Structure formats: C-alpha cells, structure tokens
Amino acid sequence: MLLVIDVGNTNIVLGVYNGKKLLDSWRIDTDENKTSDEYSMLINQLFLFSGIEIKAIKDIIISFVVPNIRHSLGNTIRKLFDKEPLIVGPGVKTGMNIKIDDPKQVGADRIVNAIAACKKYGGPLIVVDFGTATTFCAISEDGSYLGGTIAPGIKISGDALFEKAAKLPRVELIKPGKTICKDTVSSIQSGIIYGYVGLVDNIVSKMISELNVDTVKVIATGGFATLIASETNCIHIVDKLLTLEGLRIIFNRNVK
C-alpha cells in the first residue's frame, strides 16, 4: 500500500492507496508546534479508526509547502513506518514540462494538482485550488504547465476583514442566498462569498482568453472548492482528492 501526504499551510491531507484504489483519506490541522510524537499518535489513531494496518504501508510520498514542519513530520514517518519517504521536489520526475521562468518557484502542490488533472481530464485546462491561498494554474493541450495566478484565499480575505474592522463580527462562511441582506452577518457572508465568486470568474475568464483555445475544462479542488464552485459560471468539475491522486501518479513515475 502507498501512503500519500500533502502538507498545506492550513491542513495536512493524507490518503492510503491499494494500487489505484483510494482506501481512505483524512484531513488534519497543519501545526508547526506539534512534535513528531504528537503526529505519530494522531496518524496511528486515524489508521486504527479506518482498520488499516501500519505495517501494510510499503511506500510513502509527501509534498510540502510548509518547510518548518518537514523535520517533525519526517521523524514521524521514520518512527511510525520505519521508511524514508519520497519528497516531491527537485530531482523527482513529474513527466510534466514546466514552461515558466524558474520552475523551482512553483509550489509542489500546484504541480501535483496539474499532473493529476491532466491525467484524469486532459488539456487544455485550468486548475483552481481553494486553499490558504487560491491558485489558478493553466495547462496546455499537450500537457505543459504554462503558469498561473495566486490570490489570497477566501478565509484569509475574511480574517483580514474581521481583524481590521473592529465592529464587524466573525461569521461562518456559508452562502446567505442573496446580496440585498437585512442583517450584518448575512451582509458579511454575501460580500465575502459572492465577492470571491466574482474574483474566480474574472480570473478564469482572463486565463481562458489568454489560452486562446475553443474549449477549456476548469477543475476545482481544495477545502473551499464546493462552497465557491456551485456559484461560479466557470467551474466544470469539483475534485476534492485531486492532490492525492497526483501524488500517486508521481510516485509511480519514480519507481521501477
């Protein structure tokens, strides 16, 4: 079995594959203050809850966008599984041509998502990842990574509003169903969510124009994908497990 781990700024997403079949997946908080012992206990409990044996894991692949957690999580993997994981980064074969000025600047999660989306849906396409930051990535018809856009995530946008406007309360990020709202909470929800929908539609529209092709598939992933995608005019598919699938594909491209 293969354990895949995506370490994001807000969440760590883990999944266990038996061949191409995803047996189970989990999402936990990214916490730079957690020790390797704490992560070991947490992951062990997740495996026990799902009925998956630790010793059944034969291989591990990890992508990081949070360097500070790499040491503690690396120790966790060695302690719990007694294995060295494959780390997505320089020297790892992705099978994707990255056509930007400095390929090393592209976050591992963006490449992983692009590889999975290209394999599953074919190019040309745009991948929108709703995480701590919202990333927009363009992939050509021949499967090349062309670049993209990075915007503040919807939660970051909301947090900035609550922190800077003293009288505005912190609200749950749910759709109020209208934009002419009769109370402060609904007004804030409307502004954050529908304003963000406008941001997504506008950026995707401009990217499609720059790609200059007849048909472009737009794939959404990440924690807030479902919330935003249902209100947009541009997103065709929501694939919440895209990153895990990308890690599985990359692992298979790097083993004999």
Domains annotated on the chain, with CATH: 2-87 (3.30.420.40), 103-247 (3.30.420.40)
**What backbone torsions phi and psi does residue 115 show, to the nearest 5 degrees?**
-65, -45
What are the residue numbers of the active site?
109
Residue count of the chain: 256
HSE-CB at 176 with a 13 A cutoff on CA atoms is 20
Q: For position 69, what pLDDT does the model report?
A: 87
Q: What is the chain's mean pLDDT, rounded?
A: 92
Residue 256 has pLDDT above 70, yes or no: no
Q: For the whole model, what pTM was predicted?
A: 0.89
Q: For position 234, what pLDDT does the model report?
A: 95
**The three-state (H, E, C) secondary structure of 53-89, written as one string:** CHHHCCEEEEEECCHHHHHHHHHHHHHHHCCCCEECC
pLDDT in tens, 153-195: 998 888 888 888 877 888 888 888 899 999 999 999 999 999 9
- Rounded Cα gap, residues 212 and 214, in angstroms: 7
Amino acid type, 57: I
pLDDT in tens, 117-160: 999 999 899 999 998 899 999 999 999 999 999 999 998 888 88
Q: For position 164, what pLDDT does the model report?
A: 82
Query: pLDDT band at 208, cuts 50/70/90?
Result: very high
Q: For position 173, what pLDDT does the model report?
A: 87
